[in-house]
Amino acid sequence: MKLLIRLAINVFALFIVTKIVPGFILADLTSAVVAAVVIGVVNTFIRPILQLIALPVTILTFGLAAVFINVALLYLTSMVVPGFEIANFATAILASIVLSLVSWFLNKLASE
């Protein structure tokens, strides 16, 4: 049940980002659900490996490399999921930041 609530929160967060960030496009609810699942899987399995590999660079850049890893993974997810598009890398940077903040806020609301 908790997993479904988190999935619903992430889908809702994606729709909020669609409204806020120009160039961040979700075709329909199905593509939003698939995108949320793929983002969850990528963040669970691939992101920790990349962050471990990039740890020296992350230390040298005071954490900026970790942000770019998140941006790149979001951008790559948009390339894999049909109906989920990000116009360019600058849009991906803004969308990644907004998505992180919106997801954090919605998860805090749901936990209380």
Q: What is the per-residue pLDDT across 7-41, written as a single tens digit (0 to 9) for each?
A: 999 999 999 999 999 999 999 999 999 999 999 99
Q: Rounded to a whole number, what is the distance in angstroms from the first to the last CA of the chain?
A: 16
Band the pLDDT of 50: cuts 50, 70, 90.
Answer: very high
In angstroms, the CA 92 to CA 110 distance is: 26
Q: What percent of the chain has pLDDT over 90?
A: 95
The domain segmentation of the chain, as residue ranges, is 2-107
Q: How far are the Cα atoms of 16, 93, 95 from residue 19, in angstroms, in the given order?
A: 5, 16, 11
Among 4, 17, 10, 3, residue whose Cα is nearest residue 85: 17
Nearest Cα neighbor of 111 from 5, 4, 1 is 5
Tell if the pTM clears 0.85, that is, is over it.
Answer: yes
